[in-house]
Amino acid sequence: MIRRIAELLIKEFLQLKRDRSARLRLLIPPIIQMLLFGYAATFEVFNVSTAMLDQDHSQASRALTAAFAASGRFRLTVPAANRREVRDAIEKSDAEIGIVIPPGFAELLEKGQSSPIQVLADGSNSNTALIALGYVGQIAGSFGQRYALDLAQRTGRALGRPMVNVTMAERYWYNPNLNSRWFFVPGVIGTLTLITIVNLTAFAIVREREVGTLEQILVTPIRPIEFIIGKTLPFFLIGLFEVAIVAAVGMLWFDVPFVGDPLLLFAGTCLFLTSVLAIGLLISTVCMTQQQAFASNFFVLNPMFILSGFSFPISSMPAVLQWLTYLDPLRYFLVIIRSCFLKGVGIAVLWPQMAALAALSMVLLGIAVLRFRKSLD
C-alpha cells in the first residue's frame, strides 16, 4: 500500500515538474496577492477628499482648518465659498466630506461656550464616511481641549466654571500602533491557502476524470483509498510550503511579528489543510468538468470567506449566520494564526479552535472519502 501511494505521489510531483506554468501559478500569484492585500487592505482612511467652508474667517477657524489639513486624514480639495458649493462637491463626488465652520465660531469659543461645526458626509460609501466622521470628532475634540486650556491660561480662569475633564488612558495590547497590516496579513495567509488548495484538489481530480486518465489509474491494482491519499497528499505538502512562503513574505516584507510557537501553528495548519482538502475532494465528487468545478468553487469559497470573520465581525451577523460560521474551518484557523503571530498564546488558549478543526477535518474527510468511493463505483 505504501509503495503504491509513494508511486502515485512521485507521479504527481513529476507532473508538476513538467508543467512549468503550474509551478509558477503555485508560487507567483500567492506572493503577488499577499503584497496587494498587504498594501491595499486596511481599516485606516487617509487623504479623504474634503470641501472646506470657513464662514468665520478668524484665527481660530484658520487654526482648525490647518489641523484638519495637517492630520493626513483629510485632503482639502474644494475651498468652497458658500454652502451650495459644499453640497455640489459632494453630489459630484469631488469631495467625500464637507466641513462648514459657521460665523461666530471664534466668538463662542472666547466666551467658553461650545461652538458647533457642520459636517456633511457622502453616505454612499458608508464605511469611509463612518471612519472619516470619527476622525473629524477626534481632531475637533483635540482642538477644543487645546483651545480651552489656552483660554484658561490667558484669562487666568475657566470663565466661572471649573475645568473638569475625563481623560482616557489608552493601552493597546498585541498591536500597540493599531497597524492594520498586522491584522490583515495573517488573515491573508489563511485565505490564500484555502483558495489555492481547494482549487488544486478539485481541479486536479476533475481533470483526471475529464481526460480519461482516472479510469486508467483505477484499472491498475491501486485501491480507491490509496488513490485518494496519493492524490491529495501532494496538495497537503504544497499547502504547507505555501503557508511557509507567504508567512515569510508577511514577516520579512511587512514586518509582522511572530511571537508564538511554530509547532502549534504547524499543527493548526495541518488540521486546516486536512479540512480544506476534504472540501476540494467533495467538490470533485459532484463535478464532471472543470467548468463545473470552477462554478462550485465560487459558490463554496465566497461564503467561507464572508463567514470566517476575516473582514466582517461575526458578532454583527444575524444569529442564523453566526451558527453557520461554526461549520467554516477558516474561522478557527484565523484565530489560531493571528494568535500565534501576535499574541504568542499556547495550546491552553487555542485548544477549542484546534478541537473544532480536528472534528471538522474528520467529518469532512469521512464524507468526502465515502462520497468519492461512491462516485467511482
Q: Please report, for residues 68, 108, 227, 274, 338, the alpha-carbon distance to residue 234 in angstroms, rounded to integers and kept in the order given.
A: 55, 72, 12, 12, 26
Give the range with max mean pLDDT: 38-47, 59-68, 167-176, 233-242: 59-68
The pLDDT of residue 160 is 44
Average pLDDT over residues 85-111: 90
CA pair distance 32, 311, nearest whole angstrom: 20
pLDDT tens digit sequence for 214-255: 666 666 666 767 777 777 888 888 889 889 988 988 898 888
Task: Name the DSSP class of 325.
Answer: G
Average pLDDT over residues 5-27: 69
Q: Please report, for residues 54, 59, 98, 137, 221, the alpha-carbon distance to residue 117 in angstroms, rounded to integers and kept in the order given.
A: 10, 15, 10, 10, 80
Task: Name the DSSP class of 329.
Answer: H
CB 38 within 8 A of CB 254: yes
Percent residues over pLDDT 70 in the chain: 86
The pLDDT of residue 38 is 78
Provide CATH 3.40.1710.10 ranges for the chain: 48-155
Task: Give me the sign of the Cα torsion angle 199, 201, 204, 210.
Answer: negative
Is a pLDDT exceeding 50 seen at residue 278?
A: yes
Cell (9 digits) for 284: 470533485
pLDDT tens digit sequence for 289-299: 778 887 888 88
Angle at 10 between CA 5 and CA 13, to 5 degrees: 125
CB 246 within 8 A of CB 34: yes
According to the CATH classification, is domain 48-155 in 3.40.1710.10?
A: yes
pLDDT tens digit sequence for 140-199: 988 888 887 887 777 665 544 445 555 566 677 888 877 888 888 888 899 889 988 888
The pLDDT of residue 218 is 64
The pLDDT of residue 51 is 93
Kindly report the backbone phi and psi dihedral angles of residue 178, in degrees, each rounded to the nearest multiple of 5, phi listed first: 50, 45
The least confident of 122-126, 130-134, 290-294, 315-319 is 290-294
Sequence-ordered alpha helix ranges (H) in the chain: 2-18, 20-40, 59-70, 83-91, 105-110, 126-155, 180-211, 213-218, 224-253, 262-286, 290-307, 319-324, 329-338, 347-376
